[in-house]
Amino acid sequence: MSQESYSEGDLRNTGMSLKHDREWDYELDRIVEAVEERDADKVGLQFPEGLKRRGPRVADDLREILPENVTVLISGQPCYGACDLDTFLMRRTDVFVHFGHSPMKESDKIIYVPLFSNVDVLPSVDRAIDEELEGDDVGLVTTAQHMNRFEEMREHLEDAGYTVHTRKGDDRLTHEGQVLGCNYASADIDADQILYVGGGKFHPLGLAMEHPDKKVVIADPVNNVLTIADTEKFMKQRYGAVHRAMDAEKFGVIFCTKIGQGRWDQAEEIVDNNDNAYLITMDEVTPDRLRNFDMDAFVNTGCPRITTDDGPRFHKPMLTPQEYRIAIGEEPLDALEFDTFHGTW
C-alpha cells in the first residue's frame, strides 16, 4: 500500500497522542463515544486478514484513552468481508467494532469503520480515459476501499465529456457504485463499458463474467496498472472443475455458518433432490477441513470466492450451485455463469 500519510482526526479533539503511527483513520473517537454511551466494559475489535497485524496497535491506542476498567478483545477468527462478523465476540462484548468493510447490514450493536484508502485515484482514471475508454457513456464501479473518492471520479469522468452511469446494487451493497467479490448488481447499467477502479484480479473478473456484453476496464490506482478483464483462463478452470465432477456420485454440500454467507435454500434444494448429497456445515471452508470427507465432489453455497479463487486447492472438484446442476446434467455447459450472492441475513 502506498498510503503513507494518515489522518489523526479521531484523536485531535481528545488531546491524546498516538502511541503508534497509523495510515488510516480508525475513528477511535466514535468507539470511545459508544463506550461512554453504553457504559461498556468490553470492546471487541475485528479486522480483516490484511489488517490483523495492526490490531494490537489499535488496541494500544484505545486502551490509552478508554477508562481502565474497559477490556479490549481482538477477534482471531479469519475475516474476509462484512458478511463475516465474529458473532461469538459480538455477543460477548458491549461494543463491537468491525474494521475494513462497509456495513452489509446495520445494527446498533456494531460500529463499522470502513478504513478508506487515501491513494489518489484520478491518475488511473486519466489513464483509462487516454488508453481504453471509448464513446460517450461509461459505467463506474469501485470497491468499498475507494468509495470515499467515488464522487470525485464521477465528476472527473463527466469533466472529460462522459455520461457516467451508476446505480446502487441490492441490499448486500451499502453504496452507489460499490461492488463486492460476490455481487456486481451496481454494474447493471445502461452502458457498453464499465470502469472498475480498484485492485485485485477476481473482482473485475467476476464483473466481466456477470456482464459479458460489456467491456470491463480495470484501473488499479494502488499499482497504477490498467488492464482489460479477460475471462478465458478463468472459464477454462471452471469448465475443468465441472468436467471432473461429471462422474461424481457422492457430493458434499457446504452450508456456511458465517452470518452473511449462508444460502440455505440452495443447499437444501440439492440435498432434497439427491440422496447421495450430504449437507456439511462449517464456518471457514478450507482444503484441510474437507480432506477427511470421502466425497467425489463438493458444492459450495457459501462465499463464491472460495470456489473460484481457492477451488484448485481442494482435493476434489469444488463447484458452485449452478456448476453442480451442470455436472449432473440439469443445465447445459454453456449456461455457466459467475456465482453471485444477494441479500443479507
Question: H helices then E strands: how many in the chain?
Answer: 12, 13
* Member of 40, 128, 141, 180 binding ligand SF4 (CB under 6 A): 180
Window of 21-29, 49-57, 63-71, 175-183 that interacts with ligand SF4 by CB under 6 A: 175-183
**If binding is defined by CB under 6 A, does position 47 make contact with ligand SF4?**
no
Query: Per CB under 6 A, does 316 bind ligand SF4?
Result: no
Q: Is residue 198 close enough to count as binding ligand SF4 by CB under 6 A?
A: no
> Which residue carries 458434499 as its cell?
252
Q: Which of 100, 124, 91 is nearest to 46 (CA)?
A: 100
CB environment 180-213: b (16+ within 10 A), e (fewer):
bbbbbbbbebebebbbbbbbeeebbbbbbbbbee
Q: Is 65 in the site for ligand SF4 (CB under 6 A)?
A: no
| Size (the chain), residues | 345
Dihedral, CA of residue 131, residue 151, residue 176 and residue 10, to nearest 10: 120
Q: Which residue in this structure is represented by grid cell 476434489? A: 316
Q: In 10 A of CB 15, how many CB atoms?
A: 7
Pairing outcome for strands 215-220 and 225-228:
antiparallel
- The least CB distance from residue 28 to ligand SF4, in Å, is 26
Options 126-134, 140-148, 154-162, 178-186: segment touching ligand SF4 (CB under 6 A): 178-186
If the CB atoms of residues 31 and 229 are measured against ligand SF4, the closer one turns out to be: 229
Show the binding pattern over residues 221-260: x = contacts ligand SF4 (CB under 6 A), - = does not: ----------------------------------------
3-state SS class at 322: helix
Nearer to ligand SF4, 180 or 242 (CB): 180
Nearer to ligand SF4 by C-beta: 85 or 153? 85
Q: Contact between 305 and ligand SF4 (CB under 6 A)? A: yes
Is there binding between residue 145 and ligand SF4 (CB under 6 A)?
Answer: no
Question: In terms of CB distance, is 182 or 327 closer to ligand SF4?
Answer: 182
Query: CA 344, CA 260: separation in Å to the nearest integer?
Result: 6
C-alpha to C-alpha distance for 296 and 246, rounded to whole angstroms: 10
Looking only at residues 72 through 111 of this chain, which bind ligand SF4 when binding is defined by CB under 6 A?
A: 80-81, 83-84
Interacting residues toward ligand SF4 by CB under 6 A: 80-81, 83-84, 180-182, 261, 303, 305, 341
